[in-house]
Amino acid sequence: MKLSVGIVVLSAFQGTSAFTAGGVKTLPSRTNRVSVAHMADGTGWGISDISPDGKLVQRVEGQTRRTWSFQDMSKDRVQVALTSEGRPMTADLQLWIGPDWTPFTLKAYSEDGKVRPIQTIIGTRNKSAMIEVRNIGDGQFPFKAASDYAKGEMAELPTAMPAANPGQRCDGAGAVRSFPLGPSAQRAVVILKTEGKQLNARIEILNGPNNPKQVFEVFTNNGELNSLCVCFDMPADEGNTIRVINQATVEFPCYIHLMEG
């Protein structure tokens, strides 16, 4: 396994169906190093990892939405995974806290939801929350989605990766950072965060010049409490590059943490 770590300082309601889900830099500890290395193999990200018995999996037809409710205020991170039978996926993911506060939104696209599923971890800020997944694609492009509280190393990952390496700063005003991936890379985990300020950024995985295979576009008012943490699965193919664009204004730099596995 090849491991490289880098960091860059980076809904209207219809068809509702709600689930309630279960239940200063320092040197990284050995636990954090193990956790980070473990996540590079892709374990724990998939829809079957989130819901082994399938009870939290919901089918999301085109132009409809599904929700999952989270009431355990002792926990602060949930996982979300979307997959299809090989068709494109275009989705809008939102974190709802209270009746009218949406502190985190994520627009996601995948060219092939089977080969390149959408996989992310979202912070709930230790509050009662709801995750909404809206399929904004056409009716012929349904997908499956699941969400549950992140557990164990998955819950630790958004803090373990930044602790493992200070990373690189990416200023605002459209600054771009690109990370070519090795030909043997099977996946990449990327975290974008700020020092408590706004996070407004776009992550793309490209295969060839300006040929995005998967895209995430995030906005949150606090990129520390709601850092963006995503996992890209990749087929055996050369020429993959991750491109990060900071779409915020110049006073809102962000940091990128990238791990290739």
Give the pLDDT score at 109.
98
Residue 43: alpha-carbon gap to chain centroid: 15
pLDDT tens by residue, 155-197 = 999 999 999 877 789 999 999 999 999 888 889 999 999 999 9
Residue 27, pLDDT score: 32
At residue 37, the pLDDT reads 52
Structure tokens of 201? Answer: 């950024």
Q: Which of 13-17, 49-53, 243-247 has the lowest mean pLDDT?
A: 13-17
Query: Can you give the pLDDT at residue 153?
Result: 93
Q: For residue 76, what pLDDT band results from cuts at 50, 70 and 90?
A: very high
In this prediction, residues 39-48 reach a mean pLDDT of: 78
In degrees, rounded to 5, the angle at the alpha carbon of residue 223 between the alpha carbons of residues 8 and 17 is 125
Q: Are strands 18-20 and 64-70 parallel, antiparallel or unpaired?
A: parallel
Percentage of residues of the chain with pLDDT beyond 70: 84
Other CB atoms within 10 A of residue 124 CB: 25
Q: What is the DSSP letter of 153?
A: H
Domain boundaries, the chain: 4-10+13-260
